[in-house]
């Protein structure tokens, strides 16, 4: 009996038994394999969506300029620009590492091409090989894009990084609402996975078992306030 290599990051991880999903002699369980394939594929669309947000929104002004200066450049949203570049960088590094591990010939990305085209090519190579990517041994590279310090990541860590980049892109595009992690364990499944929205502090939910709590119920559960009890009549 074999279990998913993603361990506690498995999509069907059981927090009560502390067991990931069964992988049946493969590296990934069926749920994590489907999720990894989907996230890799969606990174291509995340790149396109982020490209629309790279020019920063300009404030309206009463002054009208008939013709822009030749040296003028539109302001950039540096956070979005950096995230878009990191998506392409991580996927390209993953493709190079897997090609080297498999002994494949270098792909067309060794030639100078546009970043979006290189990303699309790398995703098409990695998507049908997510099980082999999960089994990739630790590879030292500048995964953080800044190039300040190289780190060692194995295949499981690369897949977790891919998922993190996809979620970051969705939040940057306004497709996912921000979630705040709360201290304490879920009263139903005992997992440390309680979340709330910054716009609705009175609703707390567990990302594992989907149980919901009110703000008062959460405070009582984590013992921040005492439960309300009826006063006994005095004789």
More confident residue, 77 or 134: 134
Distance CA 112, CA 118 (A): 9
**Residue 185 burial by CB count (10 A; 0-12/13-18/19+): exposed, middle or buried?**
middle
SS3 218: helix
- pLDDT 10s digits, 96-149: 999 999 998 876 655 678 889 999 999 999 999 999 999 999 999 888 876 677
Question: Six-digit token pair at 222?
Answer: 């984590």
Of 49-58, 116-125, 190-199, 217-226, least confident by mean pLDDT is: 217-226
**pLDDT above 70 covers what percent of the chain?**
81
**pLDDT number for residue 150:** 85
| The length of the chain, given as a count of residues | 235
More confident residue, 2 or 234: 2
State the first-to-last Cα distance of the chain, in angstroms, to the nearest integer.
65
Sole residue written with tokens 């891919």: 162
Closest listed residue to residue 55, CA positions, set 28, 22, 23, 78: 78
Q: Calculate the CA 124 to chain-centre distance.
A: 20
- pLDDT 10s digits, 44-56: 999 999 998 888 6
**pLDDT number for residue 123:** 95
More confident residue, 74 or 80: 80
Could you tell me if 58 and 74 are in contact, meaning their C-beta atoms sit under 8 angstroms apart?
yes
Residues 6+ apart with CB under 8 A from 23: 2, 3, 4, 5, 29
Q: Does the CA dihedral 110-111-114-118 come out positive or negative?
A: negative
Residues 6+ apart with CB under 8 A from 187: 211, 213, 221
């Amino acid at each position: 009996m074999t279990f998913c290599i993603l361990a506690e990051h498995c999509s069907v991880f059981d927090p009560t038994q502390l067991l990931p999903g069964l992988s049946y002699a493969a590296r990934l369980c069926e749920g994590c394999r489907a999720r990894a394939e989907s996230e890799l594929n969606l990174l291509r669309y995340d790149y396109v969506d982020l490209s629309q947000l790279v020019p920063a929104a300009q404030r309206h002004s009463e002054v009208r300029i008939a013709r822009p200066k030749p040296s003028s450049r539109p302001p950039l949203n540096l956070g979005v620009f950096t995230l878009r570049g990191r998506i392409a960088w991580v996927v390209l590094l993953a493709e190079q590492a897997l090609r080297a591990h498999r002994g494949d010939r270098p792909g067309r990305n060794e030639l100078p091409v546009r970043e979006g085209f290189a990303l699309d090519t790398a995703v098409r190579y990695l998507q049908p090989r997510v099980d082999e990517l999960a089994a990739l041994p630790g590879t030292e590279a500048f995964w953080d894009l800044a190039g300040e310090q190289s780190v060692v990541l194995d295949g499981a860590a690369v897949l977790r990084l891919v998922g993190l980049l996809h979620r970051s892109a969705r939040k940057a595009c306004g497709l996912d609402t921000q979630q705040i992690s709360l201290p304490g364990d879920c009263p139903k499944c005992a997992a440390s996975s309680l979340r709330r929205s910054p716009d609705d502090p009175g609703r707390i939910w567990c990302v594992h078992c989907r149980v919901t709590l009110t703000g008062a119920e959460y405070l009582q559960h984590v013992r921040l306030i005492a439960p309300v009890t009826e006063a006994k009549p005095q004789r």
